[in-house]
Amino acid sequence: MRALTLKQRSSIAGIGIVLALAVAAPTSASIAPTGAEEPPTLDGETLETFDAFDANQGIAVDDSAFYAINNASITKHDKTTGEPLMQWVGPEDGPIIHLDSGAVVDGMLYAAHSNYSDWPMTSSVEMFDIATMEHSGSYSFGIYRGSFTWLDRHDAFWWGAFANYNRVPTGDSEAYGMTYNTQIVKMNDAFEVVESWTYPYELLDSFDPMSNSGGSWGPDGRLYITGHDAAAVYVIELPDAGSVLKWVATVNLPSIAGQGIAWDRSGTEPVLWGILRETRQAFAMSIPAQTGTPQPEVVGEVHGPGEFVDDL
């Protein structure tokens, strides 16, 4: 018997740990939505592999370095040789508990941070000067929409995700927020949310019992996100109406297993970076070039006399 989907389970009280559903997708050479329930699947390629002892939660990248992110430490590596250059380390029992993915913007590394898996959930943005690797600022969301897992800068706004989980933390009896409450947010320069969206239930089922761990805007104007464990990224477009994001493709990336990702936008050829926490390695990866820009979806149509519909 097929397990219940999140949509079906959402009406059942006292949800516990459930098995993730595998979402298969037909192979396709293009990224255009097909109108079918399951999006096409593409295959990526690993270009370079680097040992990175802090590659446990996420990664950030700029024109000369990549930054391996651990719970309470970040190491700056030379992007060509992989040599570790500098490391920031937070004190034991300090205020930095669970860093996640990050983005380098104008000489600063902005990292998503939460108190995962403590309750109630709190989140913040932590800021580091990439020249010195010193912690240089913080913005607190406090108790908010979930655990902040990634952020990126795109189209003059900040973007990020507040993750929630069906996983029941050790010693607790309830799920950590419930996965279907996960949402992507668009924020202004003051990190104030101006819009937010939810994920398709089919994609949430692939995250279950965990959630969305990483995200980065691609050079094709689409958002690339990861789950917690899968060796893949999911290609997302914003909807033209409503609040549910469009899942338009899946890209298999066998080197990684979820966690944080970051597009390197500094070169002529865009490269996606990711990590594998089990081996503490960072990877530069190539994804098949996507053609065209996100296409508008049909939201509705206007009818005149003699064409009115009265049976919807």
Q: What's the pLDDT tens digit per position in 206-230?
A: 898 999 999 999 999 999 999 998 9
Burial (0-12, 13-18, 19+ Cβ within 10 Å), 49: middle
- Residues 6 or more apart from 163 whose CB is under 8 A from it? 146, 147, 148, 149, 177, 182, 210, 211, 212, 213
Q: How confident is the model at residue 5 (pLDDT cuts 50, 70, 90)?
A: very low
> What pLDDT shows up at residue 72?
97
Question: Does the pLDDT value for residue 203 go beyond 80?
Answer: yes
> What pLDDT shows up at residue 292?
60
Per-chain mean pLDDT for the chain: 86
> What pLDDT shows up at residue 178?
85
Task: Please check whether residue 275 is in contact with residue 296, taking contact to mean a CB–CB distance below 8 angstroms.
Answer: no
Question: Does the pLDDT value for residue 8 go beyond 90?
Answer: no
If you write DSSP's letter for every residue of the chain in order, what string do you get? Answer: -PPPPHHHHTTSSS----PPPP----B-S--S--SSSS--EEE-EEEEEEE-TTTTSEEEE-SSEEEEE-SSEEEEEETTT--EEEEEEPPTTSS--EEEEEEEETTEEEEEEE-TTSSS-EEEEEEEETTT--EEEEEEEEE-SSEEEEEEEETTEEEEEEE-BS---TT-SS-SB-GGG-EEEEE-TT--EEEEEE--HHHHHHHTTS---EEEE-TTS-EEEE-SS-SEEEEEE--SSSSBPEEEEEEE-TT--SS-EEEE-SSSS-EEEEEETTTTEEEEEE-PPPPS-PPPP-------TT------
Q: What is the pTM of this model?
A: 0.84
Mean pLDDT of the region 245-263: 94
Task: Please check whether residue 248 is in contact with residue 234, taking contact to mean a CB–CB distance below 8 angstroms.
Answer: no
More confident residue, 96 or 9: 96
Domains detected in the chain: 43-286 (2.120.10.30)
Mean pLDDT of the region 233-259: 94
> What pLDDT shows up at residue 170?
84
Question: Does the pLDDT value for residue 233 go beyond 90?
Answer: yes
Mean pLDDT of the region 167-192: 90
Q: Which long-range contacts (CB under 8 A, 24 or more apart) does 120-126 make?
A: 121/146, 121/147, 121/176, 121/177, 123/147, 123/148, 123/162, 124/148, 125/151, 125/191, 126/96, 126/99
List, for residues 86-111, the tens digit of each pLDDT value. Answer: 999 999 999 999 999 999 999 999 99
Share of the chain above pLDDT 70, in %: 86
> What pLDDT shows up at residue 258?
85
Please name the amino acid found at residue 230: A
List, for residues 146-162, the tens digit of each pLDDT value. Answer: 999 999 999 999 999 99
> What pLDDT shows up at residue 30?
42
